[in-house]
Amino acid sequence: MYQKYIIWFIIVVIWLFSSTFAYKELIIQNIDRKPVRVIKVILDWQHFVISSVAWDWWATLQELTKKVGWDSAVNGTFFCPDDYSSCGGITHTNSERVYLWDWESWSRYRPDTSIRMVFGFDKYWVPSFVQNNLWEMHDLWLWIKPDQDKLESLHFWIWGFPTLLLEWEDVVVWYTNYLDTKMNTAGNKTFICSTKDNSTIYMWVVWWLNIPQMPAFLKKNFDCRNALNLDAGESIGMIYSGFVLDQWRRTRIMDAFVILDRDQYTKLTGIIPPNKTPYNPGEQYQLTDKDQQKIKNIYNALQPFIIKNWSKQKRSFISLLRSAVTAPKVLSNPQQHALIKDLLWRFFVIWEL
């Protein structure tokens, strides 16, 4: 009887959030036995990843996302919150961060990236890793300075620490002396990376890895060429297609990577990108009006059960669906696969912007 209710619940919630997204994809599944929740962005000039920054004071992820024409976003790099004793009661950042290539809105703590790496995009929307590392007292192994002359030519960027992959090479070993206990402990680790042909961006979270394990995992499972660690602490946050999917205790952050579609990007920057063949994700099942109406009726009838059991069963549902979404029988049934994928990410929805 209990399993019957679970099945009905899974079916009816699909009605609430049924939709498809051609230019980006949210991947929620188990990969190498690790739970992941990652946004995949195809760089086909139909969508763009940009930075959105707070200036001298903090902002919420929602505010940083809406600032640039909100759609989807993840939290950015490390910052200094005012409740840390070392921050002197002021929330600020040590980051090199730029929003708008014309410097209309930007934040710079110092002109030296030090041992941190900048991840950004140039005027041709090519992802780039840049470091200038002007302070000569840094460790010799960290004087890599890739593309240091390109720093001023990037349109949108945020720096981070540590670099995970640089031109396919695991470089975490270079930062061994700078990794704290939290980085060396298995837990939720966030990242942003570009693939070997610079055609795709992956970003966000992998569960139950430590920082030294991240490079091999990202290279193997996401074909990452360059990868940067992002902030995985209590400031972690994620927005997907206008829905807040994660919001931890610390809502004050300093920057974010935001995904815009072509129209949003043009409105923000005034630039009309050249035409390019849009990425085609292939044929995907679309729920019919009849499907949705039937599910709506069932959903209304099951409201009391949903309200009573949501918190208790949420983790169980997510675990069940994470396993089901990659099951061979599900993959062979486009309708079933589409329904489970769509439902799965909605289990993380906290609220709509």
Which secondary-structure segment (H or E) carries 63?
helix 61-67
Distance (Å) of CA 225 to CA 128, 154, 164, 216, 341: 11, 19, 10, 11, 27
- E strands, the chain, in order: 24-31, 34-42, 47-53, 72-75, 96-99, 105-108, 117-121, 127-130, 156-160, 163-166, 169-170, 187-195, 200-209, 224-229, 237-240, 243-247, 255-261, 351-352
Q: What is the pLDDT of residue 303?
A: 54
How many CA atoms within 13 Å lie on the side-chain side of 83?
Answer: 7
β 169-170/163-166 pair status: antiparallel
Average model confidence (pLDDT) across the chain: 82
For the segment 264-281, the average pLDDT, to the nearest whole number, is 89
C-alpha 72/C-alpha 66 separation (Å) is: 10
**With 0-12 CB in 10 A as exposed, 13-18 as middle and 19+ as buried, what is 16?**
middle
pLDDT above 60: residue 20: no
Least confident of 26-35, 87-96, 110-119, 326-335: 110-119
C-alpha 217/C-alpha 220 separation (Å) is: 5
Record the pTM.
0.87
Structure tokens at 216: 């091999």
Convert the pLDDT of each residue in 209-251 to its tens digit: 999 999 999 999 999 999 999 998 888 999 999 999 999 888 8
> At 16, is the pLDDT very low, low, confident or very high (cuts 50, 70, 90)?
very low
Q: What is the pLDDT of residue 22?
A: 42
